[in-house]
Structure 1
Amino acid sequence: MSQHFLLSPAAKTLSLVKVMRMSDKAAKAAFAKMRWPETDGAPICPACGSTESYDLATRPVYKCKACSKQFSITSGTIFASRKLAVRDILAAIAIFVNGAKGYSALHMSRDLGVDYKTAFVLLHKVREAIEMAREQGALSGDVEVDGAYFGGYVKPANEKKDRKDRRKMVNQNGKRQVVIAVRERGGRTVTRVAKAEMEGVKVVAQTVQPGTTVHADEASHWDRLAAYFPIKRINHKEAYSLDGACTNQAESFFSRMRRAEIGTHHHIAGRYLDAYAAEMAWREDARRTANGTQFTMLVAASAAAPVSARWCGYWQRRA
């Protein structure tokens, strides 16, 4: 029996020990090389784009010779106005990468010795960077689409005679939402959060290239896809796969998402469900990528992402 990829040496190219032992200077140099690869880490002014700058003697920032603006190594990125040291941010990303089913903010706050809210915002900024980096191009080839419901748990009554069918809308609390997954075989997974699975028809129309073969289950709302795409259907009451038609890869994503909700986070608030879905889609797509490469991907994505519009007001209760 072949060895699982995660157990192989090829999967383990990142050492958390080495990251934690980095000096602040070395951590900043590593971040700079990933933020400004075109100049091999030499600073570029985020205001005017000039490569001419110098270090200020009084503060750990640069000053642009062209526009006289001062900027730090994280200015203009999603980690702008940070309080944590760059080494701690890199360590947080390294820890985050190694969580195959996600990583909770509570666990991160204990590992880094920071406040829970600090860890919560930091991890959500990384998720936002992932979401921005993954929005590229339409899906093609063979694409699977499916939906699964998350959140909105209603505790069943103690006595059997008082229990109700929680699958019915009338017995729900209105917080349950569906994550729609559109997954290209051998490619990316695109996720959207909606109130009903039927909204996935619109998602497919927006994200899938015309002429692509779409695989869906027996739900009646997917019938409308036949007007736009070649479509293959699979009835899960009869089989999980038949004549090449299946949604097993979409189901694989939902399995990872479900394990993250139940085993790692225990509860995912509806307003943040899209961020967790994007994270799990990235984890599923990069599951055969070495953790060192994943680390580089996330640091580069965070360095390229602009200042967060969603999380910059969290401490003022705006997020």
Structure 2
Amino acid sequence: MPQHFLLSRPAKTLSLAQVFRMSDAEAEAMFCKVRWLETEGKPVCPNCGGLDAYDCRRPNGAPRFRCRACKKDFSVTSGTLFASHKLPLRAYLAAIAIFCNEVKGKSALAISRDLGLSYKAAFVLLHKLREAMAEEMKGRTVGGEGKVAEIDGGYFGGYIKPANIKENRVDRRLGRNQNGKRQAVVIVRERNGRSLPAVFRTEGQALSFIRSRIAKGTVINADEGSSWDALHAQYEMKRINHQEAYSMDGACTNWAEEFFSRMRRAEHGHHHHIAGIYLLRYAQEASWREDHRRMSNGEQVHMVAGLAMHKKSSPDFVGYWQRHKSDGATAH
């Protein structure tokens, strides 16, 4: 019986013990190499692009560089998701390693205990990592001539607790008995390729998104939900009735179902409730984890760190606990 990839030696190339054995200087050097890959870790001024910078940190102070061209000070995290960080860089590297090692996700409460952070700090940090993962999906299209893609939708949030007495219970599937908070996560996934999630009020509202992100000539597999009927005009479609079979005559949505399996396990096992304005971030995290499931944890850590270091300041988490937005306005 073949061994599962996660149990194999190639899957484990970085341990948390290795991270904690690093010195602060080694962690700093790693972040420098990740951010300034083209110059092999030599600092590049984010203000003017100058290559002539020198170390100007104070004794026992945070890492700091000064550009000889524009005289501006900057650090390895200036202008990135980790700008104005309070923790040492080694702690951020450890947070990324812990986050990547959990194949179904990591709760903010658990990582706050692991690293001795407040819950709020851990919550913001994990959402910044999810933003970094989402950078990889910007402008992505899937499929193409002769390729196969699968689409499916799943509903999250808006839980209605049933009444205690049976006679008082209502059919919670009907719209009039819902609270309006339920949202549909729609996944577009190419077989043996990448995936792309999005969030809508209903599956039917995802049609324009699907048309813009699936290339012409792609064969689309979907279930028999009426929301997908309109796609027959633009694509060759294969439909599967899940009441009869999970796969039949070459039609199935198993790749899309794998995404929802990972996301549901993350919801039930770690987060317990994912909905509202952050639902898309959790869906993007599940998509990234599914796409890179055959990559070693060391490669995942370097990739997430690289995405975070090349991502501008977070549009959602600027300032202290969302009190200040990037434009200086106060969040309400």
Shorter-normalised TM-score: what interval? over 0.9
Taking structure 1 as the reference length, the TM-score comes to 0.97
Letter of the aligned partner of 1:3 in structure 2?
Q
Q: Among 232, 236, 243, which residue is 1:237 paired with?
A: 243
Q: Distance in 2 between matches of 1:57 and 1:94?
A: 27
- Larger mean Cα displacement after TM superposition, 307-316 or 77-86: 307-316
Q: Distance in 2 between matches of 1:179 and 1:57?
A: 47
Q: Gaps spanning 5+ residues in structure 2: where? A: 324-330
Q: Distance in 2 between matches of 1:218 and 1:303?
A: 43
1:111-130 superposed matches below 5 A: 111-130=114-133
Who is 1:36 aligned against? Answer: 36
Who is 2:328 aligned against? Answer: none
Q: Distance in 2 between matches of 1:105 and 1:204?
A: 32
Who is 1:267 aligned against? Answer: 273
Q: CA deviation at 1:57?
A: 4.4
1:75-86 superposed matches below 5 A: 75-86=78-89
Q: Distance in 1 between matches of 2:182 and 2:127?
A: 21
Q: CA deviation at 1:170?
A: 1.2
Who is 1:248 aligned against? Answer: 254
Residues 149, 188 of structure 2: 8 Å contact kept: yes
**Gap change, CA 1:16 and 1:138, over 3 Å in 2:** same
Q: Distance in 1 between matches of 2:185 and 2:302?
A: 28
Is the aligned partner of 1:221 residue 2:192? Answer: no
Residues 147, 200 of structure 1: 8 Å contact kept: no
Letter of the aligned partner of 2:31 in structure 1?
F
How many aligned residue pairs are there? 319
Q: Among 146, 168, 182, which residue is 2:174 paired with?
A: 168
Letter of the aligned partner of 1:34 in structure 2?
V
Letter of the aligned partner of 1:69 in structure 2?
K
SS of 1:134's equivalent?
A: coil
Q: Distance in 2 between matches of 1:201 and 1:237?
A: 24
Q: CA deviation at 1:200?
A: 2.2
SS of 2:193's equivalent?
A: coil
Who is 1:105 aligned against? Answer: 108
Q: Distance in 1 between matches of 2:177 and 2:316?
A: 33
Q: Distance in 2 between matches of 1:315 and 1:266?
A: 22
- Larger mean Cα displacement after TM superposition, 105-114 or 230-239: 230-239
Is the aligned partner of 1:304 residue 2:307? Answer: no
Is the aligned partner of 1:209 residue 2:215? Answer: yes
Who is 2:326 aligned against? Answer: none
**Gap change, CA 1:215 and 1:48, over 3 Å in 2:** same
Q: CA deviation at 1:206?
A: 1.3
Letter of the aligned partner of 1:226 in structure 2?
H
Q: Distance in 1 between matches of 2:293 and 2:194?
A: 12
Residues 57, 65 of structure 2: 8 Å contact kept: no
Is the aligned partner of 1:191 residue 2:194? Answer: no
Q: Distance in 2 between matches of 1:293 and 1:56?
A: 32
Letter of the aligned partner of 1:107 in structure 2?
A
Q: CA deviation at 1:185?
A: 0.5
Who is 2:297 aligned against? Answer: 291
Residues 185, 197 of structure 2: 8 Å contact kept: yes
What value does the CA root-mean-square deviation take over the aligned residues? 1.2
- Larger mean Cα displacement after TM superposition, 52-61 or 178-187: 52-61
Q: 1:8-32: CA deviations, max 9, x gaps?
A: 1111111110101211111000011
Residues 150, 177 of structure 1: 8 Å contact kept: yes
Q: CA deviation at 1:188?
A: 0.9
Who is 1:52 aligned against? Answer: 52
Q: Distance in 1 between matches of 2:57 and 2:289?
A: 42
Q: Distance in 2 between matches of 1:268 and 1:314?
A: 23
Residues 34, 303 of structure 1: 8 Å contact kept: yes
**What percent identity do the matched residue pairs reach?**
56
Q: CA deviation at 1:315?
A: 2.0
Q: Distance in 2 between matches of 1:78 and 1:92?
A: 14
